[in-house]
Structure 1
């Protein structure tokens, strides 16, 4: 059993949908119809009235495409961060020849709102306002779910476009999509479809900014996807779209609230079991995501991960970067957001720790 925070285990119905013979995405209307239906289902999950698009490419494509589509050389971008992926947005800005300013907080803390507000006010006072700001809803490497509301309030006050990485939260917990200009997701996390697709909900003002920008990239570019009535910008991935469509059917089968509740109960059970074993969470409980739990095992995470893999059929994840050997992560998202599966994974962890 793969109990990682993405890619997640793909359920049988999704694998079967992917294995079917697929229509030619360039010439057969059956694919265009499925694409439209998939986008409609995604809009339900996003809980948004914004346009929703699906691109062929793993979720990182969305992060880079959002920057490439909005940021011209010299444009100022505020990267609000308390994790690896938040920091990484600055790299995309640099690659686009934008001017990134990183406002970073410690990885085990929330956003530094005072620093964010000061950066916005200083930029406005200097006559060099930020065009775009980036945030990460769920920092998967540390299991952190960020409260984006206060930052989004500040961005609204300063008329700054918002780009949010919601890759590992979308479909597992509510996301304030209609307050976000570009809200990014991917197929392989809470949807439990195979890796290979980027999803995005895009506001009207973001589309307008993209049109003014006239992005130089052809592939890492959302603008050609605004209207696909005359065809897609490039050959899409029909098997992946079929898989995502089937996965969305499963996610929406019981209703969105029931899906969120299932994730919350799985997370609660995982943390109860961790407390029984004396495991500390990273970060503190108030910021723990309902889609992934990170236990703090300083210097021991990789050993526990390897022993669980060697002694059972269960695959877990560790942290990233400097925290690689300090954090053990369990991804109770999508198909794995079930108490029974959490118990099975935690039984394996308990056996190793004992």
Structure 2
């Protein structure tokens, strides 16, 4: 990158040694995207410790595990790498801090998502409206209500492979955000205290209400605001995501750090999912929208699929319905999944199961 010095950090790097414990190292981090950089006795870089890879993706480690047994080897950034490749590696690895090496493969510092955002703020791409960019959960926001059990949120975290879920009230208005990272201590630690802030007793913990763990301090913008406005909020408030709301304070999407970085990628075009409905009854609308949300998520995260189409045909009597899902790959023939019957929910679930199996 021509201006690598503008996104390079050489001091203030969170460091750890191979003999440190996982608990002491993770205690230095504040989000699932953070990283502690590990160096041996010869000051040679050997890897990183990252919450996503040591806590979320696996449950094989506990707090007493030595860092050397839980190392993750991240992508290496070269001073000559273009910005598009740097953000691609950052987003694909789910780590917002990556090591940078010179031409002799010597560690010279790190780059971070925040530094890239600060650099990006002066670029022309940040002057577009948020409505023009692809962003997380656009038009299909994953939500839970304040009194829903944590078990429901955990199921959504797993099913949609997301790290944040929007929390709403019974009227659909924004109340806060729930982070998977914030729930990890309660999922991992032993004990019998089930009060807010207590640890362990997982069955009872999973039935406690979402409102006990929701963060009510959130950043909000509208789709008519600029990307640069979102960058400013993330940098000044030190929160990694912004909830988009309409004029009634209903959430309509989330803009994350990853979404903004994706604008710098050469392959950042959002795939199209066309939806056509005929005689869709009002009582089935919510369930159908959830189905569309899942198919959309699947298409956006599947590298082999170029686009998709969802076609629903119902009878006015609401006695029979037909559902067709077309998944078109970049190469080869499209996969067409069709179901017909009287049980609306059963048909949607059957198609969903076929898609999930790939």
- TM-score of the superposed pair, with normalisation by structure 2: 0.25
More helix by share: 1
More strand by share: 2
- TM-score of the superposed pair, with normalisation by structure 1: 0.25
Of structures 1 and 2, the one scoring higher in RCO (CA 8 A, sep 6+) is: 1
Structure index of larger Rg: 2
